[in-house]
Structure 1
Amino acid sequence: MAKILVAEDEPELLRAFKLLLQNEGYHAVTAKDGQECIDVYKSELKKRTTENSPPFDMVLLDYRMPKKNGAEVAIEILALCPTQKLMMVTAFSGVKELIDVKLKKIYVMPKPFDFD
């Protein structure tokens, strides 16, 4: 079962992501802010069985979160595990271009979006 870490500060949207992913057969792990995401990631990193393998199949980040924003979290995660796949969601225009320039490994998905 694929494991996905979701970091989102809006509780309703975080629950929706978790439910959607679980309904699709994924194991969803959640974090309510950027720092919690880093803490969860580091904890899972210690449990991995292969040194170079990422602890999650995907990390889904909101751009605007308390404590650390999605770009800060992405930079820290990629420093810990350069092969980690990342996706960022944002409602802010201009963020996609910023992320594309600084973090070429991240797919940026604009909000709002439809879960259908």
Structure 2
Amino acid sequence: MKRVLIAENNKSDLAFYESTLLKSGYHVLIAADAKECLEKYKSELEQACAVAANEDSSTVRILPFDAVILNHTVSYREDGLQAAKEILLANLHQRIVFVSDSVQYTVELQNELYDRVEIIQKPFEPEALVELLESTEVYRALGSLGLNVQKLKECNLNHSQLLELLDACMTLLEEKTGN
């Protein structure tokens, strides 16, 4: 089952995210602030590590969540940027998606964590959040080029990495066919 941890202080936004993701088949854990988000993340990471230790594969990426969704101001005392940094210190491969209604903060995030997080600007339609998380159209396009979509999904690439891969594949195809 797809799993998401959401840290959001705005109750109406939280209800929107939770409803959208539940309808799309996600198991949703909720944190009221950055501190609770980090506690839940670290607890789930420990559990995932314990399970992985019992498996034979040393190449398994341990990801307790498909994504962690953070508001840039999770609470008045703590911000999402610090939570993201701590999560990435604990697990470099964890996918983090910021939701923000501040253009200035979005620029700050891009400067601070550039390719390590994804950003979705408020307001957005429910489908935009699900598309970002699942990259459905990008996977469909990569599959149409003959790539093994299941293997790509196992790599846990974020949406922007998948778009770069699709762009590179299209460029190679154009060079090969001369179109």
SS of equivalent residue, structure 1 residue 60: strand
Normalized per residue, the structure richer in helix is: 2
Mapped partners of 1:19, 1:34: distance in 2: 21
State the one-letter code of the partner of 2:41.
Y
Q: How far apart, in 1, do the equivalents of 2:111 and 2:120 lie?
A: 15
Runs of 4+ deviating beyond 6 Å: none
Name the counterpart of 1:92: 102
Trace 1:42-57 onto structure 2 (pairs within 5 A).
Answer: 42-48=42-48, 49-50=51-52, 52-57=61-66
Deviates more, 1:28-37 or 1:77-86: 28-37
Alignment: residue pair count: 116
Instruction: Give the fraction of aligned pairs with identical amino acids, expressed as a percent.
Output: 29
Letter in 2 for 1:110: Q
Partners of 2:84 and 2:52 in 1: CA distance: 21
In our comparison, the structure showing a higher alpha carbon Rg is: 2
Q: Does 1:114 align with 2:125?
A: yes
Task: From the two aligned structures, give the one with the greater strand fraction.
Answer: 1
Q: Describe how 1:1-20 pairs up with structure 2 within 5 A.
A: 1-20=1-20
- Aligned match of 2:87: 77
How big is the alpha-carbon RMSD for the aligned residues of Structure 1 and Structure 2?
Answer: 1.4
Q: Which runs of 5+ in 1 are unaligned?
A: none
Which runs of no fewer than 5 residues in structure 2 stay unpaired? 54-60, 128-179
TM-score of the aligned structures, taking structure 1 as reference length:
0.92
